[in-house]
Amino acid sequence: FDPNIHHAVETVADAGAEPHTVVEEYQRGYNFKGKPLRPAMVKVAVKPS
């Protein structure tokens, strides 16, 4: 997960995934000439409590 190119719209506690990794992409992000136009909307894994 990179906050410069991703927008976390949901988090999920997943023991099988590393924390702060993208689990699912809801909407693709776009870049133009190396600069982000729109961040990707993603679901991010967090450490289970």
The tokens for 1 are: 């997960």
The tokens for 31 are: 């870049």
6-46: CATH superfamily: Head domain of nucleotide exchange factor GrpE (2.30.22.10)
What pTM did the predictor assign?
A: 0.81
Residue tagged 């719209």 (tokens): 9
pLDDT at residue 25 greater than cutoff 90: yes
Distance CA 26, CA 29 (A): 10
Strands 35-38 and 30-32: antiparallel
Give the start-to-end residue ranges of the domains of the chain: 6-46
- The percentage of residues in the chain with a pLDDT greater than 70, rounded to a whole number, is 100
Task: Give the model's confidence band at 49: pLDDT under 50 very low, under 70 low, under 90 confident, else very high.
Answer: confident
**Average pLDDT value for residue range 33-43:** 94
